[in-house]
């Protein structure tokens, strides 16, 4: 029976691991204090003392994190990279399925975002441990874009470190060191979140898609996106004329302090909303669903967007 570990958020003081029909539930906890400094490359912890753990990751939003934590002691294969393929609609080819063969550890997003990966894990690598950032049963209650949830990022990092150490006990100290270095590299990210929440908490926003909603909540912003529009967007449907009009009027009336705009969503509706924001003088912050081209790490990608948000809200981090 395959073991699936689901990261439970929000944060809890307990690290709960409950085995039930092969399902483990883990609440994230912090591993050590974050220090200041730049990102550390994969060689900083030295060469791996054992054969690398074979890890498969469904999407590149998590792939960079897994590579940073695994270092030389993990052979990481990411199935979907870049923005050319929508993970929701991805149909794996036989070559993609073959990537799961021999996997010891599989990291998926979950929440039905990459259900194809969950199915391939079960059929192709039934003995692998699966870490899922969101539970499949959470589809109706959780935002599937879990990499924008700081608690989920921490939870995945903690759980991955623990499972890597169990799969390669002789490299346990190596993985603990990698986790510490990752925490250090993420300090600018954590500091920006804290600064924006302190200085701009309560500010209002609207979004063309719900991609950034978990991060917006983490920094204390209030979601004013018209409910009808957000429901349509979340279901990949066009909004009704009334819902679109409500959004446009919200911007014209300066009912929000910032518009969050997913640049990877094309179409006349998002473009119309952006134009309305620009006419009204509402700042627009561009975000992406997948790792932005040119970003050299998860932290760099996220920090760039948080800096843009801070600038739009007229705060100095």
**182-235 confidence digits (pLDDT tens):** 999 999 999 999 999 999 999 999 999 999 999 999 999 999 999 999 999 988
> Is 235 a domain residue?
yes
Confidence band for 21, pLDDT divided at 50, 70 and 90: very low
Q: What is the pLDDT of residue 19?
A: 30
Cα–Cα distance measured from residue 100 to residue 56, given in angstroms and rounded to the nearest whole number = 6
Percent of the chain whose predicted confidence (pLDDT) is above 70: 85
Residues 14 and 87 in one domain: yes
Query: Does residue 15 or residue 62 have the better pLDDT?
Result: 62
Q: Above 90 in pLDDT, residue 251?
A: yes
> Is 192 a domain residue?
no
Domain end position, chosen among 185, 207, 239: 185
Residues 222 and 286 in one domain: yes
> If you average pLDDT over residues 108-135, what whole number do you get?
94
Residues 229 and 295 in one domain: yes
> Is 191 a domain residue?
no
CATH of the domain at 232: 3.40.50.1980
> If you average pLDDT over residues 119-141, what whole number do you get?
84
Residues 176 and 210 in one domain: no
Domain end position, chosen among 135, 154, 185: 185
Domain end position, chosen among 150, 185, 220: 185
> Is 207 a domain residue?
yes
Residues 123 and 205 in one domain: no
> Is 317 a domain residue?
no
Residues 162 and 206 in one domain: no
Confidence band for 46, pLDDT divided at 50, 70 and 90: low
> If you average pLDDT over residues 302-308, what whole number do you get?
98
Residues 293 and 210 in one domain: yes
Of 85-89, 222-226, 261-265, which has the strongest mean pLDDT?
222-226
Per-residue buried b or exposed e for 260-277, using 16+ beta carbons within 10 Å of the residue's own CB: bbbebbeeebbeebbebb
Q: What are the percentages of helix, strand and coil residues in the chain, rounded to 5? A: 45, 15, 40
Q: Above 80 in pLDDT, residue 20?
A: no
Q: Above 90 in pLDDT, residue 31?
A: no
Q: What is the pLDDT of residue 140?
A: 53
Residues 236 and 172 in one domain: no
Q: Above 90 in pLDDT, residue 262?
A: yes
> Is 194 a domain residue?
no
> If you average pLDDT over residues 164-185, what whole number do you get?
98
Q: Above 70 in pLDDT, residue 280?
A: yes
Q: What is the pLDDT of residue 153?
A: 98
Under 8 Å CB-to-CB from 124, ≥6 apart: which residues? 97, 98, 100, 101, 103
Percent of the chain whose predicted confidence (pLDDT) is above 90: 74
> Is 193 a domain residue?
no
Q: Above 70 in pLDDT, residue 14?
A: no
Q: Above 90 in pLDDT, residue 87?
A: no
Cα–Cα distance measured from residue 79 to residue 99, given in angstroms and rounded to the nearest whole number = 8
> Is 95 a domain residue?
yes
Residues 34 and 177 in one domain: yes
Q: Above 90 in pLDDT, residue 24?
A: no
Residues 159 and 241 in one domain: no
Q: Give the total number of structural domains in the chain.
A: 2
List, as own/partner pairs, every contact residues 290-296 make where C-beta atoms lie below 8 angstroms and the sequence separation is at least 24, other chains included.
Answer: 290/59, 290/60, 290/61, 290/82, 290/83, 290/264, 291/60, 291/61, 291/64, 291/81, 291/82, 293/82, 293/83
Domain coverage including residue 298: 199-312
Residues 118 and 255 in one domain: no
Residues 147 and 211 in one domain: no
> If you average pLDDT over residues 286-308, what whole number do you get?
95
Q: Above 50 in pLDDT, residue 61?
A: yes
Q: Above 80 in pLDDT, residue 88?
A: no
């Amino acid at each position: 029976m395959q073991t699936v570990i689901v990261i439970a958020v929000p944060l809890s003081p307990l690290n709960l691991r409950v085995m039930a029909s092969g399902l483990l539930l883990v609440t994230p906890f912090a591993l050590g204090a974050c220090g200041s400094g730049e990102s550390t490359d994969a060689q900083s912890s030295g060469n791996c003392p054992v054969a690398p753990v074979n890890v498969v990751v469904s999407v590149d939003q998590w792939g960079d994190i897994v590579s940073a934590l695994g270092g030389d002691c993990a052979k990481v294969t990411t199935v979907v990279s870049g923005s050319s393929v929508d993970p929701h609609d991805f149909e794996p080819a036989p070559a993609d399925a073959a990537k799961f063969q021999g996997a010891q550890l599989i990291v998926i997003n979950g929440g039905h975002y990459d259900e194809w990966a969950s199915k391939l894990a079960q059929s192709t690598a039934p003995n692998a441990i699966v870490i899922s950032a969101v539970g499949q049963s959470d589809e109706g209650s959780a935002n599937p874009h879990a990499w924008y949830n700081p608690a989920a990022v921490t939870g995945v990092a903690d759980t991955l470190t623990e499972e890597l150490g169990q799969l390669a006990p002789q490299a346990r100290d190596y993985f603990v060191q990698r986790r510490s270095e990752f925490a250090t590299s993420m300090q600018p990210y954590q500091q920006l979140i804290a600064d924006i929440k302190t200085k701009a908490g309560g500010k209002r926003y609207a979004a063309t898609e719900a991609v950034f909603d978990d991060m917006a909540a983490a920094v204390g912003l209030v979601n004013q996106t018209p409910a009808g529009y957000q429901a349509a967007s979340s279901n990949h449907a066009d909004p009704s004329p009334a819902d679109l009009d409500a959004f446009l009027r919200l911007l014209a009336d300066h009912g929000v302090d910032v518009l969050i705009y997913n640049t990877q969503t094309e179409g006349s509706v998002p473009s119309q909303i952006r134009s309305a924001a620009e006419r009204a003088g509402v700042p627009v912050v561009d975000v992406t669903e997948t790792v932005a081209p040119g970003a050299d790490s998860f932290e760099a990608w996220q920090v760039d967007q948080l800096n843009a948000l801070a600038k739009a809200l007229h705060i100095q981090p």
